[in-house]
Amino acid sequence: MSGSGKQAERVAQYSPAEIEILKQAGQIVAGTLQLLYTHLQPGITTAELDNIAEEYLRAQGAVPSCKGYKGYPATICTEIEDVVVHGIPDHAKLQEGQIVGIDLVGSYQGYHGDSTITVAIGEVDEERQRLMQVTEDALRAGIRQARAGNRLRQVCQAIQEHVEKAGFSVVRDLVGHGIGRQMHEPPQIPNFVVEGQFTDYELILQPGMVLAIEPMVNAGTAQVRMGQDDWTMRTADGRPSAHFEHTIAVSDGGPLILTKRGDA
């Protein structure tokens, strides 16, 4: 991986016109998640949620970015309880007391928006409620640091500090990313700082850079394990995990949340 000077050259900076299209993509994704939120009740299956998401996306003139990506078979990724990322929708029914993450990427006019919510199914215990709140607040803390002139490490560090102060663990094997014409672009965006592990830490944020910031937070250990389907990533200790994500654009006036929902 190259040094910080060259990284500034390889991280895309999008024009105001492109940012506007990215915002439209982000708003379609946000609208899809808001629709799914209304359906996240005990008894519904994640396969049903997947169908709802794809139908809505396509009705807005967008396409699901994940479906077919490296063979992934669905529109959404579902994260039930100890699933950290990339759970494949199926016909198991959601149950009262679970927490469920929905990760969605949609493409509109060739540009991608990426966002994730984690939702309680009915009433959940205090630990799960706090885990979700801390993770969402960590996302907000990271976004506040995504300002022109700041280094990327300030985003990463703000997330880590908020999570660890609350007694939870930041996943180390998975990171956020740049986004735009491609679903995954430079830079890598860890939710932690380990000196020397990522040269992207030293990237100076510039107007027009577009980032998918996504803390993935575990109630117990930070360690994860891969499932037999080679997609589903779970916590190593079986304890719950939460995940929140927004696509943001760096601007002279501060970070712009392109996937902003009415409630967040």
- Average pLDDT, integer, range 91-106: 97
Q: Which residues does residue 45 pair with via DSSP β-bridges, in sequence order?
A: 93
Given pLDDT bands bounded at 50, 70 and 90, which one contains residue 10? confident
Interatomic CA distance for residues 256 and 204, integer angstroms: 17
Average pLDDT, the chain: 95
- State pLDDT tens for residues 211-264: 999 999 999 999 999 999 999 999 999 999 999 999 999 999 999 999 999 766
- State pLDDT tens for residues 31-62: 999 999 999 999 999 999 999 999 999 999 99
Q: Is 161 helix (H, G, I), strand (E, B) or coil?
A: helix
The token pair at 19 is 């940012």
- Residue spans of the domains in the chain: they are 4-257
pTM: predicted TM-score of the whole model, two decimal places:
0.94
Please give the pLDDT value at position 124: 97
> Biggest alpha carbon distance in the chain?
52
Pick the CATH number of 4-257 from 3.30.930.10, 3.90.230.10, 3.40.50.300, 3.30.70.20: 3.90.230.10
